[in-house]
Structure 1
């Protein structure tokens, strides 16, 4: 059986060795890079299933590296930051990262997050294309159109939309969406899903002043409305 490739983009030898050991133990073939430019080139060359990406890199930083990788790859991306500033996490998730960990992280935590990502169930494809006014969702092709134009979603953004459009008008708690997309062994906090939903809304053409298809049910969670309507501002 061919081993999947993992790419570690990290300029700290200590953390690079730690991540390499963990990923090797998980059965990956591991390749490494120490700068942002090297990391993007390695992602193109090796087509990894998973990238462990440091935010602070010499030259091109990890957030820009993530953005560039997302232009050609749908691999899993776990960002690693030594800084506690929440802005780093939000920017990383906005650029398409799947998850993040903060240094110093425990080997058990990183391993658990990687396993959770790889095991998270995908929504069962349906042969029926879902049409909701200006929005079209094709579960077989995993394609989303807004006003007939294809919208590029990350893996998690699509999975969230797949779950929500599969049960229109049903209100999901954050924990239910996290279980459906990441699996029941998720080890992170629910802020991740807030950022991914905000990114999804933006890509669907929704903004901070008008509600669209995805509605916030205050104090509970989120639901999908089959017909977008102009309503007061939402919050996540």
Structure 2
């Protein structure tokens, strides 16, 4: 246990059946000050998630015994630990699926270790940041940032952490148009870099869920060549 004044070591789990990649990730993140746990199967990963305190999970989509998407859905039943998917699949449908099942980020292979480190730190930092105690109300639609809940009348939506963050950010400034870069910087306070496609997938998933919750009403609109706007 860290004593007063000591910085507690961040602990991550990396689940992938590629041993060379696991070795590379472990070497890099250990040198960067992380404690790294490894799992080569979904069953092993789930067991570690259940019994060990983790700050982030880096999860390969193509594990040998279980689909990474299904594993994420399972762990979301009892854990809110940030999950970053690793995948060879670059298509938007795969990114949307992963993020809609509760994933916090989606990294396509091949990737740079520095980029993965920045994403891991951003997800951990985002989890630790206190949500502003505010309730945003727009007729029957209510966005409670204090308890991270979205309701429309008597119905409650089921949004992944990052989807909620994007919606809450846009809803704080009704009618204002935000570019992808402004949304990313507003939520994570860092340059977007090569994360545009991941952000697009998150926005698409959030909009679909919001439209379904609100009976077809579209609160988040696309402004061509400019970005997105929340319109009550």
Specify the TM-score bucket, using the shorter chain as the normaliser.
0.7 to 0.9
**1:103 matches 2:105:** no
Residues 4/146 of structure 1: CA separation in 2 closer, same or farther (3 Å cut): farther
Instruction: State yes or no: 1:25 paired with 2:36.
Output: no
Which residue of structure 1 aligns with residue 81 of structure 2? 75
How far the C-alpha of 1:50 sits from its partner, in A, is 0.7
- Deviation track 1:33-56 (CA, whole Å, cap 9, x = no partner) reads 111122222222224221111111
Q: CA RMSD in A?
A: 2.6
Distance 2:143 2:198 in 1: 23
Say which of 201, 206, 213 aligns to 2:219: 213
Mapped pair 1:164 → 2:148: no
> How many pairs does the alignment contain?
225
My pick for the range that moved more, 4-13 or 75-84, is 75-84
Tell me which of 219, 222, 229 is aligned to 1:223: 229
Corresponding residue for residue 184 of structure 2 = 178
Identify which of 1, 4, 14 aligns with 2:20: 14
> TM-score under structure 1 normalisation?
0.82
Gaps of 5+ in 2: 3-7
- Taking the TM superposition and a 5 Å limit, the aligned residue runs for 1:87-166 are 87-119=93-125, 125-166=131-172
Corresponding residue SS for 2:211? coil
8 Å contact kept, 1:123–1:163: no
Question: What secondary structure, in the 3-state scheme, does the structure 2 residue paired with 1:71 have?
Answer: coil
Distance 1:166 1:124, change over 3 A: farther
Shift of the 102–129 alpha-carbon distance from structure 1 to 2, 3 Å rule, reads closer
Distance 1:120 1:135 in 2: 25
The alignment partner of 2:63 has SS state of coil
Confirm or deny that 1:65 pairs with 2:63: no
CA offset at residue 84 of structure 1?
4.7
Are 2:207 and 1:201 equivalent residues in the alignment? yes
Q: For residues 172-193 of structure 1, what are the alpha-carbon distances to aligned partners after superposition, in whole Å with 9 as ceiling and x for unaligned?
A: 1111101112322333231212
What are the residue-to-residue correspondences of 1:37-56 with 2, within 5 Å?
37-56=43-62
Classify 1:85/1:131 alpha carbon distance in 2 versus 1 (closer, same or farther; 3 Å).
closer
- Measured against aligned partners, the alpha-carbon deviations of 1:207-235 in whole angstroms (never above 9, x if no partner) come to 9x955111111221111112xxxxxxxxx
Structure 1's 192 and 30: CA in aligned 2 closer, same or farther, altered over 3 A?
Answer: same
TM-score norm. by structure 2 comes to: 0.84
Residue ranges of structure 1 left out of the alignment (5+ in a row): 227-236
